[in-house]
Amino acid sequence: MADDERKYPHIERPWKKWYENTYDMELENTNLTDYIKKKNVGREDLIAETYYKNEISYRELFQRIDDASRALRALGVDKGKTVFNLVPNIPESGQIWLGATQLGAISDFADPRPDSMDLKANALKILELLKYEKADYIVALDLCYTSMLKPIENELKELGINNIVVVSASDSMNIRGIIDYLKDVIEYNKIKNQKLVSGAVKKLKFYEALYQKITKMSADKKAFATAVKDSPIEIIRYKDLVAETRNVPFTEVKDENLINYIGHTSGTSGAKPKPIPLTNKNHIFATEQAFKMGVNVWPGQTAIHELPFFSPLGADNNYILDLACGANLLDVPEFEINEFGYLVKKYKPNIIIGTPSWFSQLPKCQYIKDIDLSNLERVIYGGDSMDKKIEVELENWLKDHNGPTYVEKGHGMSEYCGGGTYATGKWNRYESIGIPYPDTIYAIVDPNIEDRLVPVKTVDKDGFIAGELVVSSDAVTEGILNGEVIVPHYEMDGRSYIRTRDLVKMDKDGIFYFDARKDRSFTRYDGYKIKPYEIENEIKKSELVKDCIIVNYFDENKNGFMPIAHIILVDDVKVYNKDDYERIVKEIVYKNIIKNPDMSSRQIPSKFKFRSDFPLTKNSKVNYQALVGEELDETEINVEIEETNLAVKDIKIYSTEKGKEKVKK
């Protein structure tokens, strides 16, 4: 857009020149399950999912979905009822969701990770979600039942929940699958201990890890059996329920305007995860938009399914879209970030969608240094931005291993199914987020006006228009749950928009670039959203703390951002040495975060820095950029958490001095 063309981008849409697929969408009034079934007519013999050697065809998948509808109907699930799900990426998770959808019911997916070592705190978080989102039924992984639901069973009865349906990660495993799972344990252990010099130590660690895993599996099984035995409510195994209800009839409900899914994102007005209700139409429109944009894969191609169901990015872009394409989903229920390279090597996928932090680990992974990626056709990242240097390094690594020549990327929010822009081909520029989907409108407004949308049209000397991003699309949630407005909508130029809180700019070609989050939020190395003010507010409740500011720093080991807390203590706190600082950090971490039902252990800063004041700008405001730019100087107190995408395992708090590390559990 030339400097003298003072026109609004959301009206002119200069990005339209890039489109190739410009057909109009004619969406049928139906449900999401029926849509996926119709997309796969003639593909019934293709493999839909692979789970530890067990291959499930589309024909079998659709039979299992119908079985899920019958099982849920037998429990009493029907139109408008809410099924609360605490499940990872196992085949039953999606089948139960799409089975509930056929009944006109809502599947509410919460994070199945017990994110605190305090079991009661975990359970109370789930109880609050169940109350707030008015769940009628619960489906849970057996491990989640034991750790997150067992402590609140009496409260569940008071809510009218009289049974819990449990699934096991091994339900869809045959003997080959169990062997494959144990092989993963062996390989993960090799990766974790690859820096060990002594072969004898490596071997010892290997046997120790395998023994611990088998012992834990046995202990988990016993704990579940004990929990079920004295439960005041009925615990139903899903596989038994399916076997007993194969002849139960059900009536399919086809209504595009029904909510069929509730996902969760980090809260924007508090520490609790924010529910995102999405309708059949939202999902179908978002999927068709992706088809028009060329994001889709081809029938028979394989894609790693590792993004979680509770995230709309995972549910839509890493599950629904792939199924609508006729792809083969390679289900991964649990992994650590440093095991991502192992998954790529094991499965040899045709397409991978993930976060920047996962991909940035690949060039550094010695386990796959000689890998051949000739099978890999596309690498797509979302959920966060990637530094140009890291992206160039990744592309060079992919080329050196016969992989794709460039990385594709996109921008989106949970509020509109996770995807809104795409960068590929001619409009794939470094540090950009691409161009909007064909029927999605990205507008730029004045970020300083809160009560209404005022579009920006001023072009700077470089040809950019900058401001806050707002979005309009049929994929956008209506933002209302149980009569409460969760996501406010605003009117502008005859369309309804939602605010993103993202500060962006757009060039003359209609290509968008992400600048920053308006609320100082950032994304951890693993894709978890950090909103500084949420953590600051809780830490400042400590009687030891006068003030606290959270900013991001780049963690070299994790190859991504982590939060650091800059703390000013109250005047009368006596501190004599690092032991005192460690004690203070331990009190803050345990009292204000771990035992706080409104907080997640993933919000714990990995470093604490104590200071007497904060740097200020010329206007006497806190200079956040100066804090971000400060180098680490070994005066920080470290908080190290051992975690996977399913659990928080252990925590260490220690100070670092030159040449010495002291660990305190």
Nearest alpha-carbon partner for 353 in 329, 319, 380: 380
Q: pLDDT for 605-629, tens place per residue?
A: 999 999 988 887 655 668 888 898 8
Name the band, by pLDDT with cuts 50, 70 and 90, for residue 647: low
Note the pLDDT of residue 357.
75
| Average pLDDT of the residues in 408-436 | 91
Contacts of 469 (CB under 8 A, 6+ apart): 442, 443, 444, 500, 502, 503, 504, 512
> Which of 19-28, 29-38, 108-117, 590-599 has the highest mean predicted lDDT (pLDDT)?
29-38
HSE-CB at 401 with a 13 A cutoff on CA atoms is 22
The string of pLDDT tens digits covering residues 368-401 is 989 999 999 999 998 777 778 888 999 999 999 9
β-partners of residue 72 are none
Residue 213: per-residue pLDDT: 65
Instruction: Report the alpha-carbon distance of residue 310 to residue 84 in Å, rounded.
Output: 11
Q: Could you give the CA distance from residue 608 to residue 564 in angstroms, rounded to a whole number?
A: 6
Mean pLDDT of 319-330: 97
Residue type at position 590: Y
In this predicted structure, the answer to whether residue 138 has a pLDDT above a threshold of 60 is yes
**Token couple for 120:** 């009661």
DSSP state of 107: E
Whole-number pLDDT of residue 492:
94
- Joined together, the tokens standing for residue 150 give 């067992």
Q: How confident is the model at residue 6 (pLDDT cuts 50, 70, 90)?
A: very low
Query: Rounded CA gap, 308 and 93, in Å?
Result: 10
Spatial distance between the Cα atoms of 5 and 557, rounded to a whole number of angstroms: 47
pLDDT at 193: 58
What's the gap between Cα 103 and its chain centre?
A: 27
Residues in the chain: 665
- SS3 readout for 448-481: CCCCCCCECCCCCCCCCEEEEEEEECCCCCCCEE
Q: What is the mean pLDDT of residues 585-601?
A: 87
How far is the first Cα of the chain from the last one, in angstroms, to the nearest whole number? 58
> What's the pTM?
0.83
The pLDDT value given to residue 285: 96
Lowest mean pLDDT segment, chosen from 255-259, 387-391, 469-473, 553-557: 387-391
Bridging pattern class, strands 137-141 and 106-109: unpaired
Separation between Cα atoms, residue 51 and residue 477, nearest integer Å: 32
Mean pLDDT of the chain: 87
Residue 567 burial by Cβ neighbours in a 10 Å radius (0-12, 13-18, 19+):
buried
In tens, the pLDDT along 513-535 reads: 988 776 788 888 877 778 898 89
* Number of neighbours of residue 69 by Cβ within 10 angstroms: 27
Please check the confidence at residue 201 and state whether its pLDDT lies above 50.
Answer: no
Q: Cβ of 131: how many Cβ atoms within 10 Å?
A: 12
pLDDT at 648 over 50: yes
